[in-house]
Structure formats: structure tokens, C-alpha cells
Amino acid sequence: MQTNLADLIKDTHEGREAEAILRTCVHCGFCLATCPTYQLLNDELDSPRGRIYLMKEVLEGRVATQKTQLHLDRCLTCRACETVCPSGVRYGRLVDICRNVVEKQVERSVRTKTIRYALRQILPNPSIFMVLLKIGQAVRSLLPKKIRNSVPSKARDEGVWPPARHKRKMLVLDGCVQPAIAPNINAATARILDKIGISLIKVEKANCCGAISYHLNAQQEGLDYMRRNIDAWWRYFDNHADHGVEAIVMTASGCGVTVKEYGHYLSHDHIYVEKAARISELTKDISEILEDEAEKLTPLFNNTGSCTKRSKLAFHSPCTLQHGLQIHGVVENILTTAGFDLTFVQDGHICCGSAGTYSILQPQLSKQLLENKIKTLESSKPAQIVTANIGCLTHLQSGTPLIIKHWIEVLDEKLCSH
């Protein structure tokens, strides 16, 4: 694609990056069929290719309108289009850059600005979120059904977190909303890793990965969250440290995809560039860790005896896992090896509609995607549905009476360690 970027962005690192991305698109349209919003709205401007045209126009100097903003807002940033693109167009990065430009040109309504600001203040702040969640849970039964379904019910008991007794150690990101909604996820991870000789350590000062603010176009704020996490983790990895820490484990694929890209996000920050790249290298999704440790893990499944019976599971692979991290089949393989029967899920590549704050900011499209997803997940009558990201877990739970869990929780139950 020929480009001629406007002065407003031409000589910035974002401009150079956007230009390089735009030039890789050959307009083939292979991405259209896989785009959830194009499937629902059947409008080229709600497809990846259409949005790329819109973004090109804005970056070339045409002033964005509310319509431009609407089409970009409707994008889930699910990155399904990246998975199928034969030219390797890094659509997710392009939309991040362009949304920031549009945000400066198009004034949002006071109501929308307030909601977006509140989301940035509440979600990344675990203590505020915990208080509000507890209030919501206390009055849950009094709320209208529509709102009630979106308030997560009380968290499952997290059980025991094993003491740090092994030589091999890994850090884990607690994240922002996960400790309040599902503390059992990280505790289950700690128990499983403990069984294969790895101690899992929480680092108090590492919290939100920065994705919420960044994707709400408060990009500097998002970068500050990233820097804070790097500072919190760095003492375990600097050259003089000998803590025996091998990796940083992510149990929410949404955070994982962000932390794995810290090196890129901070590539223009001369103070953090090297540390960020190192942190990204050390970051692994829990499925990658368990895949690497298969030799130690697999024999444990043979000793589960009568603890759990064989059960049918439907696995929803989050977009951040399959399109962002490009991890395919790893969780499925671990669950099958553990003795679970996995159902076939039609259109498994399509987003469930959670997409960070999308379910709040685009409720209608999100609801449609949720209904479609629940239908496909339930079609083979699974006993349970499992996923790999707290946002998807909460969103899916709002659409079904079936219990939704993180896949690591059912693995923990299988090993009778909860």
C-alpha cells in the first residue's frame, strides 16, 4: 500500500511503525471472513481491511470524525485478522497507534469520557476493585437480572498456597481484577508447580499489566504501569541477583500478551528498553511452562485414582492466547493428557465479546458475540467450560448457568491438590 503520512505523525516512531505496517497490507481481504464485527454488521468499515483504509486516511492527514472513531471503537482488537493475514499485517499495533491520534481529534461525550475514566481508575486498582466488587456481591440478589449477571458471584475458596520450598522458582503476576474475582487461579497454579518442583512467588508491587489504560488511549498511563511492574520484578533478574528465578508466569492470557510485548512498548524508552526486553523474554503463559515440564507433569495424571472422574470439557481459547500469543493446541493437549474429553467448538477462533473493557463500552455487539459463543460452547453438552483469561471467564459466566473455570483449576482438581 502506497503511503504519504501527514506531518502530525510522519517523523515520530509511531508514524514510522504505522507506515511500515500500512505498507504490508495488499488489500486481499482474506481477513474479512474471520472478523467478528464484519460477520455481525456486514459493513466493510467494520472489517480489518476497511479499518486499515480509515486509519491510512487519518494518518495521511484527513481529520477523523465520530464515524471514524465509531468504527475503530467497534473493533475488539481480537487480532483474529492477524492470524489469517498472509502478509503479516500487525493490525493490533496499527489500531493502537491510530486510536491515539483519533482520540486527540474527536471529542467524546461527557458520559463516555466519564465511563472510560472510571474504568481506568477502578479496574487496574485491586483494592478499589475489591471493595466495589464486595458491595456488588452483597446487593447482587436485589439487582435487575441484566446487571446481576455481570456481577461475578463470590469467589471460590483459594485453598492452600504451598510455601516456597524448592530451588527452582518462578514469579507470578497477580494482575488487577483476578485476585478479587478468582484468587484460586494463581493458588491452583502454585499447587501444580509445587508438585513438579517449582515454587511460585507473588511480587507485591506488580499489579495491572497496563493493558487497560493503554487500550483506553491513556497510553502514557499504561506505560507507567508497565514500568512499575518491571521495577517490581527487576530485583530478581538484575546481573547480581541469584534468586534462582527462571520465569514470570502469566495465568491470564490478556496480561500475558501485554507483558510479552513490554519490550516493544518500551523500545523508545532509553531507561527501560533493555529491562523491558528481558522481562518480555522471561514471560511465559502457564500453558508454555507446563508443556516444557510435561515429563514431570504427565506421570502425576496416572496417579489421580478416584479423585475425579473423566469429564467432558469445552475449552474457549481466548483471542489473547490464540491470536495474540499465537499459542495453539497447547492447553488442549495438556487437558487431554490429563484425561479430560474435549468437545469440538465451532468457530473457536471467534471472540466471546469480552475484549478488555469492550463488554462495557460496546454492550450490544458484546452481548451478541457472547450469545453466539455460549451456544457453540454448550452445543456438545460439556460438564464444564474452561478458558484461560479472567476477562473471558467473567464474561462467559454472565451468559450461562454452567460453571466457568480457568483450565488450571480443573487440572488442580484432577490432581486432588485443591
Name the residue nearer to ligand SF4 (CB basis): 335 or 369.
369
Out of 75, 193, 248, 331, the only residue in the binding site for ligand SF4 (CB under 6 A) is: 75
What CA–CA distance (Å, rounded) separates 280 from 173?
13
Residue of the chain from 56, 71, 79, 116 that contacts ligand SF4 (CB under 6 A): 79
Q: Nearer to ligand SF4 by C-beta: 343 or 389? A: 389
For ligand SF4, the closer of residues 156 and 328 by Cβ is: 328
Residues 8-37 that bind ligand SF4 (CB under 6 A): 25-31, 34-37
Cα separation, 250 vs 163, in Å, equals 19
Residue 188 CA to residue 412 CA, distance in Å, equals: 6
Residues with Cβ within 8 Å of 255's Cβ and at least 6 positions away in sequence, in order, are 173, 175, 209, 211
Q: Measured between alpha carbons, how far is 280 from 226 in angstroms, rounded to an integer?
A: 11
For the bound state, the minimum distance from the C-beta of residue 204 to ligand SF4, rounded and expressed in Å, comes to 34
At its nearest, how many Å lie between ligand SF4 and the CB of residue 323? 8
CB of 320: closest distance to ligand SF4 in angstroms? 11
Residue 78 binds ligand SF4, judged by CB under 6 A: yes
Q: Rounded to 10 degrees, what is the CA torsion of 242, 243, 249, 255?
A: -80
The window from 54-62, 80-88, 163-171, 242-250 that contacts ligand SF4 (CB under 6 A) reads 80-88
Q: Tell me whether residue 180 or residue 392 sits nearer to ligand SF4 (CB atom).
A: 392
37 vs 178, which CB is nearer to ligand SF4? 37
**81 is a contact residue toward ligand SF4 (CB under 6 A):** yes
Size of the site for ligand SF4 (CB under 6 A): 26
Distance in Å, CB of 13 to ligand SF4, minimum: 22
Q: Which stretch binds ligand SF4 (CB under 6 A): 81-89, 107-115, 122-130, 155-163?
A: 81-89
Residues 269, 191: Cα–Cα separation, whole Å: 37
Check: CB of residue 342 under 8 Å from CB of residue 314.
yes
Helix (H, G, I), strand (E, B) or coil at 315: strand
Q: Name which of 36 and 254 has its Cβ closer to ligand SF4.
A: 36
The answer to whether 22 and 47 are in contact (CB under 8 A) is no
**Direct distance between the N- and C-terminal alpha carbons of the chain, in angstroms, rounded to an integer:** 54
Half-sphere exposure of 343 (CA within 13 A, CB side): 21
User: Taking CB under 6 A as the rule, does residue 51 contact ligand SF4?
Assistant: yes
Closest CB to ligand SF4 among residues 48, 179: 48
At residue 97's C-alpha, the angle toward residues 94 and 100, to 5°, is: 140
Kindly indicate which of the ranges 75-83, 273-281, 289-297, 356-364 contains the residues binding ligand SF4, using the contact rule CB under 6 A.
75-83
Nearer to ligand SF4, 78 or 313 (CB): 78
Smallest separation (angstroms) from ligand SF4 to the CB of 115 = 21
In the list 87, 114, 127, 153, the residue contacting ligand SF4 (rule: CB under 6 A) is 87
> Which residue bears the cell 435487575?
144
Among 69, 77, 359, 366, binds ligand SF4 (CB under 6 A): 77
Binding mask of the shown chain, residues 288 to 327, with x at each position contacting ligand SF4 by CB under 6 A: ----------------------------------------
Nearer to ligand SF4, 77 or 317 (CB): 77
Q: 26 vs 128, which CB is nearer to ligand SF4? A: 26
Segment near ligand SF4 (CB under 6 A); pick from 44-52, 189-197, 326-334, 336-344: 44-52
Q: Which grid cell sits at 108?
A: 467524546
Helix (H, G, I), strand (E, B) or coil at 200: strand
Query: 413, exposed or middle or buried, with CB in 10 Å at 0-12, 13-18, 19+?
Result: middle
- Exposure string (b/e) for 181-208, b if CB count within 10 Å is 16 or more? bbbbbbbbbbbbbbebebbbeebeebbb
State the cell numbers at 321.
492466547
Cell numbers that stand for 218 in this block: 491513556
Name the residue among 181, 23, 169 with its Cα closest to residue 89.
23
Q: Does 85 bind ligand SF4 (CB under 6 A)?
A: yes
Least CB distance to ligand SF4 at residue 5 (A): 18
Cα(405)–Cα(386) distance, rounded to whole angstroms?
Answer: 5
Helix (H) or strand (E) holding 386: strand 384-387
Positions touching ligand SF4 (CB under 6 A) are 25-31, 34-37, 48-49, 51-52, 75-81, 85, 87, 89, 91
